[in-house]
Amino acid sequence: MNVGYIKCKIMKKQNSNIYKCLVLILIIFLQSCKQDELENFASKKGASTNVSIKGQTGQIKKDVEVVRIPVEIQLSGSATQAFDAHLELDGDAITNAITGDLLPNTLAMPVESIFIPETVVIPFGSTNAVFDVLVSVSDLEKFYFTSKKVAFALKLSEVTKGNTINEEKNIGIISIDPRGIISATEMHAISIKNGGGGKLEVSGTSNYLPSVASIGIPLDVSLSGVPSRSFTVDVAINSDTVAVLKSKGVIPQNAVMMKTGEFEMPAQVTVDQISSTGKLDLTIPSETLLKYRNNKIALVVQLTGSSKHVVDPVNRTVVLLIDPASIIAANKYTIWLPLLNKPQFNVLNRKFNS
């Protein structure tokens, strides 16, 4: 076959492909121009729209980390061209609504817990637009035990391309009930596992673990709901509560409190990732038990905060009532001192049980 003929055929095919591409580009360009002309024509022909916030619309959705609240922007008519609506949170509006009794039994949601889009695009021809407001689940859980609703306010700050804001409906107040969104089984709350919410009597052989020269009272912390990331829990002794408990007859009047240095307890507990429990032990040396053997020891242990989850308002506290005499009598300290030589053991054993 003639080489020149083949080259000619190839060039014709290439030219044909180039021609097809040019035609396709021209069609796309014409369609784009047509759309722009349509919007421009509609813009010139129609009046600008009045924009307002309608408020919450549709169903609130929740996953492990985030609550999604759908909010609707409403137009007085069809958008004659695409434009932007700018939003901001209005803390003053929600404060005024609550103080003015417009929102009874409601607390203001902190603005730092709320995430909104700064700009919402309103498409050409639409009469509304829906966007999501995001609230952290852990932040919403902080209000779970208040038995109150939480609310926040959104404000239209600006709309573009000649549209106007409806000044009577430029603010939307969104009110939600944490208990309506988070079920009791889903709620993440931290408690003292052993005795939380009540009184734990440590006596005889109950509610402690003996060691060589001390006893350890396992309290531990527990998390309800499905665990996820690691977090810490702060722990403290609530000394002021002891006097109140004495006055109410919850603990004996002659109960004493241990001084600093007479027991050991961590100030913070770490709960590992995908775990529901953390180790919390209170350790009392045998010397302290011996010192207070003629008294009952009262101690109030309390969870004071957490890096992630809410602390259960009831089960955060345990009242320890410790009976040193019964612990000494039950153990005779013999299992605590196996490493002592026989003369040392006999001296201490007689001392503890004299």
Q: Is the domain of 215 the same as that of 345?
A: yes
CA 108 to chain centre: 16
What pLDDT does 212 receive? 79
Q: Is the domain of 148 the same as that of 208?
A: no
Q: Which two tokens stand for residue 130?
A: 């829906």
Which of 181, 204, 222 lies at the terminal end of a domain, its last residue? 181
CA atoms of 5 and 13, how far apart (whole Å): 13
CA atoms of 331 and 289, how far apart (whole Å): 12
What pLDDT does 32 receive? 53
pTM of the model: 0.76
Q: Is the domain of 175 the same as that of 250?
A: no
What pLDDT does 14 receive? 53
Instruction: Read off the pLDDT band of 64 (50, 70, 90).
Output: confident
| pLDDT tops 80 at residue 338 | no
Q: Is the domain of 129 the same as that of 245?
A: no
Contact yes or no for 122/129 (Cβ under 8 A): yes
- Assign 18 to helix, strand or coil: helix
What pLDDT does 337 receive? 46
Instruction: Read off the pLDDT band of 332 (50, 70, 90).
Output: confident
Q: Is the domain of 165 the same as that of 297?
A: no
CATH number for 308: 2.60.40.1740
Instruction: Read off the pLDDT band of 255 (50, 70, 90).
Output: very high
Contact yes or no for 257/299 (Cβ under 8 A): yes
Q: What is the pLDDT of residues 81-112, one digit of tens each?
A: 999 999 999 999 999 999 999 999 999 999 99
Contact yes or no for 220/193 (Cβ under 8 A): yes
Which of 159, 181, 203 lies at the terminal end of a domain, its last residue? 181
Q: Which two tokens stand for residue 95?
A: 């404060």
Q: Is the domain of 251 the same as that of 338?
A: yes
CA atoms of 38 and 165, how far apart (whole Å): 24
What pLDDT does 10 receive? 45
Helix (H) or strand (E) holding 301: strand 297-306
Residue 15 covered by a domain: no
Instruction: Read off the pLDDT band of 228 (50, 70, 90).
Output: confident
Q: Is the domain of 263 the same as that of 152?
A: no
Give, in order, the Cα–Cα distances in Å from 353 to each of 206, 293, 326, 337: 20, 11, 11, 14
What pLDDT does 93 receive? 96
CA atoms of 235 and 219, how far apart (whole Å): 11
Which of 136, 155, 181 lies at the terminal end of a domain, its last residue? 181
Residue type, 15: N
Q: Is the domain of 287 the same as that of 177?
A: no
Residue 271 covered by a domain: yes
Q: Is the domain of 145 the same as that of 247?
A: no
In the β-sheet with 231-237, what is the strand arrangement from edge to edge? 198-202, 317-322, 297-306, 231-237, 268-271
DSSP letter assigned to residue 265? -
Instruction: Read off the pLDDT band of 331 (50, 70, 90).
Output: confident
266/12: higher pLDDT: 266
Q: Which two tokens stand for residue 42?
A: 């509609």
Q: What is the mean pLDDT of residues 59-72?
A: 96
Q: What is the pLDDT of residues 30-57, one digit of tens each?
A: 455 544 544 454 444 456 899 999 999 9
Nearest alpha-carbon partner for 191 in 235, 230, 143: 235
What pLDDT does 3 receive? 44
Q: Is the domain of 137 the same as that of 227?
A: no
**Residues of the domain holding 308:** 189-352
Q: What is the pLDDT of residues 167-221, one digit of tens each?
A: 999 999 999 999 999 999 999 999 999 999 999 999 999 999 998 789 999 999 9
Q: What is the mean pLDDT of residues 106-132?
A: 96
Number of independent structural domains in the chain:
2
What pLDDT does 7 receive? 45
